[in-house]
Structures are given as structure tokens and as C-alpha cells.
Structure 1
Amino acid sequence: MPQVNPQILVWARETAGLSIDGAAKSLQLGGARQSGTEALGEYEKGTRAPSRPLLLKMAKVYRRPLLTFYLPQPPVKSERGEDFRTLPGGRAFESAPTLDALVRDVFVRQRLVKSILEDTDEAEPLNFVGSMTLGQPVDYVAKVICKRLSFDLNEFRRKRTVEESFSYMRGLTEQLGVFVLLIGNLGTHHTALSTDVFRGFALAEKVAPFIVVNDQDAKVAWSFTLLHELAHIWLGRTGLSGADFEQKIEQFCNDIASEILLPEAEIDDLGPLGDDRQKIMSAISDFASRRKVSRTLVAYRLLKRRKIHRNQWADLTEEFRRSWEAERAKKKEEAADAAGGPNYYVVKRHRVGNALVEVTRRAIAEGFVTPTKAGRILGVKPANVQALVAPA
């Protein structure tokens, strides 16, 4: 068996966000003669060589492929796009390892899907990826995207719920050849990533571009995030998007998504807002609800239109956030008290999207992927793949 560089063990643990004590406990190291921390310390110092079974455990606990542990040196942190950025001061730095693991997972899924499309002669490059630049007018880019999507704003607003509006937009996006996933954790609620860490991200590949929407966000915000990430793809900019709209590319993508969902001219329909904070909030809430958009989007448009000043925008945004968090907590309590719940496979299909399920189903039927690879693409155990891809 090849010798393992102990620096790899330290790097893998630290990038997984684990202390040496926490890792030793998760790996179930130690015994009567030696503590787990001491045992792991010996492996990491190189005074003791890890066995293959232990490396397999480490691969699972650290969320790394087994081959990683046989690299000669820890890999250099890769460039992942302009917006795969260091988390600013207001964000949770402890979430960075979880976010890195999520990004790695989606990169692997994208490459597997791309490989399937290449094997089946379906890997036709999408000409709209990277077809726009930051120097082009926002309204022009918005019109181009809408036309390519065949997006009808009235149809979007006629949907009964915000979930149905999002499904409408997601369906149009997937028809273009873009895969849209809803992911906000690594498979358990313990690894949930808040919108302070990321709202969505895009892999702007010519073949099999991926968009991930953080499903920990309010459902009414999902459509905006999807359009924001589509703008990233049109720009050809792979990247992770958060709440920092000061960055040029983030502001540009926000403006495109805003123009599509809430054309600037419509903001004038709100009329004079006055100075009463409660009345302003009420007017924004009613206005947003009728258009199947978030209140924060309306506030952003008001700011851009100079109908409110920056301090008002910050105050309203924070108040809407607190209101949503309170409502989410209430719904969680109600869900905990309710009996049963949605079917596992129904939920999973919704998370990964019809496009990804369909590609995987065809690949299995034609023998292009094993159940193990199919499970990696879909984010489930190999034993659950057949039930997930079975026709509903």
C-alpha cells in the first residue's frame, strides 16, 4: 500500500472543519491504553501509518475521495470563480468547510453528467453560456434571457403559489439544458448553510451547466436566485452568490433578475410611500405578494429607483428578514407536531430536479453509469437509485 503523507491527514481534517478531538471521536479512535486524540495525533505526525479501513473511515468523515489520501502533497486551493470568495466579516467562518464540501460535491456531479452526455453524443455546447458581458445594458440582457427562456411574466404571476411560479421558471431553465438543484446542506439538518453563507451558485460550463439554489432561503426568493445564477451563466462566470450586492458582478446579476421579475417601471405603481414605516412595510408586502416576489426584492427596486434612501432599505431588509425567520420557526414547530410527512422520493426528486433524474434514468437504462455513480449524481445511496428514477 502506498505511504500516506501525514500532512494530507492534517489538511483533510482541517478543511473538513474538525478539531483533532472531534475527528478522533467521529473516527471512533482510542481505547483503554490510548485516547483517540493521542492516536490521531500519531497518525498526523507520521509516527504511525493509517490502515486502509481507517483511511476509508477518514474519507467518509472528512468528505473526501479515498484517492485524496494518497496524494504526495495537500492540493493548492483552487480558483473557483470570482464569487467563490472569502466570507466577509458578517458571515459564519465556521461554515466555510461545509460550503467547500458542498461545492466539491456539485462539481463532481456536474462532471459525471457531462461525461454521460459525451458518452451518449448529447454533449452539444450551449451557445448562450458566456455570450454576454458586464458592459451590456441590464434591460438588454434581461430581454435576451427572457426570449431564450420563453419566459412569460404574466404566466409566472398567474401561478397559484410561489412554489408553482418557481417550478414554472425551473422547467423553462432545464429545457435549455441547465440543471437546477435545490441544496442547502450536506444531507442532514446539522450541515445546513444559511443564506448568510450563500444563496445560490452557478457552474457556467458550456456542457451541462449547473445552478444550485439554497433551499434554506425563503421559497419566494428561489426564483430570483435562479435568475441571478442564470445571469452568471450568460456571463460565463462560475461563482457563488450571497448577500453582498456591492460587488460589480453581483449587482449586475441582481439587476437582471430584478428587471425580469419586477420591471423598474412597475415600481411607480406603488405611488407615494410617505414616512410611516408600518404603512410602507404593508404596501411593500401587498405589492410583492401580488407579483410572486419577495419583499426584499421590492425594497431593492425602491432603493435603485431612489424612492427610499439607503438607511430605509437596510432597516426594511432587516425587518423583513426577522419576520421571515419568525415565520419559518413557527412552521418548523407546526411540522414537528404534524404526523407523517412527504414521501422521501418525492422530496428528493424535487430537490434534484426532473432534468437530472431523466438524464440519470436514461444513463442507467443504456448502461452508461453504475448504481454507485448514479447515486453520486442524485445525492442518494445506490440502493435508492432505482426507486428515485422510476416513473412517478
Structure 2
Amino acid sequence: MAQALINHKIIPWACHRADMDLYLLANKMKINVEKLKKWESGEAKPTFKQAQKLAKYLHIPFGYLFLAEAPTETIPVTDFRTIGNHQAQVLSVDLKDLLNDLVLKQSWYKEYVRDYFGDPVKVIGRFSCNDTPEKIATDITAKLNLTLQDRKLARNTKELYNLLVGRIEQYHILVMKSGVVGSNTHRTLDLDEFRGISIYDDYAPLIFINGRDVAAAQLFTLVHELAHLWIGEGGISNHPLESKVISTANATEKLCNAVAGEVLVPQDILINHWDSSKSIDEITAKLRRNLFRVSQVVIARRACDINLISWKDYTSFYAEQVKRWKKPKGSGGNSYNTIPVRNSKAFTNAVVQQAKANGILLRDAGKLLGVSPASISKLATHIGVR
């Protein structure tokens, strides 16, 4: 069979990128590791079929194997993640590939917005880290027209999340949520690595929520990432509710956490309705049921941040609540319901509309949405695009 004249020097680079040694790679490809070592050293060449398999398991485009030298990868957003009190250093291949996919979608949508709407998004980038959390939260609440009645009418956290997503997307801010890379269910995202991503852009800002997280945390992440856009600083975040201190060098994350807390659980309302004679479980359950529609943990964390309860009491309560949480599972239902969630409703509608109007090829529409080209017509019917 014809050999693929790959650059053998790409293999060690790709293995390092994927955090995979030759033995693990050989096991996945079901070949002898000695053969793989010969490919790496340049003593032998794989067949085209073997090279395609090699690229697949290393999570790189097939063409990368033929490059003269390994490409230099850059992170398109600021990395705000911390481990303990230190800045996180490494991005997994799954997170890198997710970022590349998000940038591809965001770039396409930016051109779409400029062509059909013209104006940039005016609500973002008008504040900075020098503004108070209260000032930013007040503006976000006003722009989303989020009232106390809205909170009461939402039956649960999921409904409040969906309400906010709908209002956020009215400003051409894309909100995407998934627990996997693209549409590959075998590449699940690591919740310990990140919880949310925001990409700042004048025309097509984007928020991504790690769908592996529980609903309670997803809502907090949504507003946290929105705060990033409001101050014009997108990035990658991991802000666990069990963490007491964010790195002192990371004032941006601290600010966005405070903004999210104030939007979801306004301080004045919380203080007016807090009853210290009741247990934390009792009072947070009552406030969740009657006022806020966020999780009891978010309410308790807010109470801790404004010194209504101690950190010790909060962590004990948090540990008990975690035992009750159920991690989200795959949809298991109609896949056409999942596509607009994974890609955002606004983005999905735009791509399908362009495909139906012959503005883009079905092949390209399928690639953008992570579906087969043959699915576009059925998807259009399902979401009401004619």
C-alpha cells in the first residue's frame, strides 16, 4: 500500500499536545508500539489509512502530519483559572480543541451579524475592574430586565437559566452549553479543568457553559461569564463554589464572582429576608422557593460573602448539599433539541437560515453545527426555519 510521507517530527509534538505516550497511542491504534517508534524516528512510514488513524487518535487535523514543522498554538482568550492560589498552566487537548471550535463559530457569526445587522453589541465592554460589583450588577439586571417577579415565576433553576439565556441572546451574545468536545460524546469535558468560557468581541461575544456541571453551578457560571463580557475581558474560568479565596493576583475573577452573586441574590433583598433563627438549610430552602430560584448553595455562599454566616458553617452546609446533587446526564431524547443548546439558538438559527437560502453549503453548515449535512433540512423544520 502507498506510504504517507508524513513528517515524523510531528508525532512527538502531537503526543505531548494530547498528553499521550507511544504505548497508550499504540494501544488505541491496536498496533505494535515498535512500529509506532519507527514512524516517530522516521525509519518507516505509515500507510495513508494508518496516518489517518494516527491523526484521529492524536486529535489533530490529518494535514498537520505533513507540515514542515509543528504549528505554534496560542490561546485565544485569557486564562483566569487557578489551582489553589496559583495560576493554572496546562490546557488539555480537549479544551484546546473546544476553544478552536468556539473561535470558528464565533468568527462565522461575527461576519453574519456585520452583514445583516451592522451594529456592534452596545451593552458590553462599558465597565472595567475599577467599577464596583454593585454598579455592574445593577446594569446587567436592568439590561436583562430581570425583576423579582421573573424570579418568582421561574419554577426552578433551569427555567431561570433558560429565561436569562433568551434575554442575553437578544443582544447577539451567543450562549452555548455542552459536556463534550463538538459533538463527540467520547470526548467529555473535564469539570475540574474549567466551568465556563467567555470570548469578548464587539459584534459576536460568546459564552460557553460546561454542561458537565450541575444546574445550580451552570446558572452562576452564566452570569459570571456575562460579567466578563460587561467589563470587556473574556477568558477561561473555574470558580468552584467551595473555594474560599481566588488568587490575590486574579482580581477579575473575584469581581465577576461578586457581580454574579449580586445579580442572582441581591444583597439588600437577602438581608431583608434572612432569618438567623432558622437553620441554613431551612432559610435557604425558603428563599429559593419564594424569591431567588437559584440553588441553596448559591444563596448560602452569598450569605457567607456578606457575613450573614461563617465560612465554617457554609462549608459544612455545602458538603451536605453536594450529596444531594445529581450530575447532568446525556439528553437521551430528541437530538434536534440538543443542537440549539450546544450551539446556541441564535447561532443555530443563523446557520440554518443561511443554508436554506443557499448562503452557505450544507456541508459547511453541518460542520459549523456538528451535524451531518443531511440533517439540516430536518433541523430547519424542527426549529421552525423555512
What range describes the TM-score normalised by the shorter chain of this pair? Answer: 0.7 to 0.9
Equivalent AA in structure 2 for residue 285 of structure 1: A
Q: Tell me which residue corresponds to 2:57.
A: 61
Task: Report whether the alignment pairs 1:344 with 2:338.
Answer: no
In the other structure, the counterpart of 1:110 is 106
Out of 209, 222, 230, which is 1:234 matched to? 230
2:203 corresponding residue in structure 1: 207
Secondary structure of the residue aligned to 1:150 is: coil
From 358, 368, 372, give the equivalent of 1:381: 372
- Structure 1 window deviating more from structure 2 (214-223 vs 80-89): it is 80-89
Paired residue for 1:159?
154
Answer yes or no: is 1:182 the counterpart of 2:173. Answer: no
Q: CA deviation at 1:314?
A: 2.7
Residue 368 of structure 1 aligns with an amino acid whose one-letter code is G
Q: Which amino acid is 2:348 matched to?
A: V
Q: What's the CA shift for 1:95?
A: 8.0
1:147/1:292 CA distance change after superposition, 3 Å: same
Amino acid at match of 2:296: R
| TM-aligned CA distance change 1:299 to 1:102, over 3 Å | same
CA distance in 2, matches of 1:194, 1:234: 26
Kept after mapping to 2: 8 A contact 1:87/1:197: no
Alignment match of 1:168 (pick from 163, 168, 180) = 163
Q: Is the 8 A contact 1:109 1:376 kept in 2?
A: no
SS in 2 for 1:240: strand
Name the SS for the 1:191 alignment partner: strand
Contact kept in structure 2, 1:364 and 1:371, CA below 8 Å: yes
Query: Structure 2-normalised TM-score?
Result: 0.85
1:9 matched residue in structure 2 = 11
Q: Distance in 2 between matches of 1:135 and 1:154?
A: 31
Q: Deviations over 1:98-153 (max 9, x none)?
A: 222222222222223234445x4445322333221000111111122223333334
User: How many Å apart are 1:298 and its aligned residue?
Assistant: 1.1
Distance (whole Å) between structure 2 residues aligned to residue 114 and residue 75 of structure 1:
25
CA 1:50–1:386 in structure 2 vs 1: closer, same or farther (change >3 Å)? farther
Structure 1 gap segments, 5+ residues each: none
SS at match of 2:92: helix
SS in 1 for 2:176: strand
The letter for the 2-side match of 1:293 is: V
SS in 2 for 1:134: coil
Structure 2: which amino acid aligns with 1:24?
A
Q: Is the 8 A contact 2:110 2:204 kept in 1?
A: yes
Measure, in 2, the Cα distance between the counterparts of 1:90 and 1:252.
18
Q: Which moved more, 1:205-214 or 1:71-80?
A: 71-80
Letter in 2 for 1:7: K
Structure 1 residues 194 and 3, CA gap change in structure 2 (3 angstroms): closer
Number of residue equivalences: 372
CA 79–190 in structure 1, closer or farther in 2 if over 3 Å, else same = closer
Q: Deviations over 1:240-259 (max 9, x none)?
A: 11126613111111111111
**Superposed counterparts of 1:1-392, under 5 Å:** 4-28=6-30, 30=31, 35=32, 37-83=33-79, 85=81, 96-118=92-114, 120-122=115-117, 124-186=119-181, 187=183, 190-243=186-239, 246=246, 247-273=250-276, 279-290=279-290, 291-324=292-325, 327-328=326-327, 341-392=332-383
Distance change (3 Å), C-alpha of 1:139 and 1:24 = same
CA distance in 1, matches of 2:230, 2:382: 32
Q: Is the 8 A contact 1:125 1:207 kept in 2?
A: yes
Q: RMSD of the TM alignment (CA)?
A: 3.1
Q: 1:43 to 1:216 in 2, by over 3 A?
A: same
Unpaired stretches in structure 2, ≥5 consecutive residues: none
Q: 1:52 to 1:341 in 2, by over 3 A?
A: closer
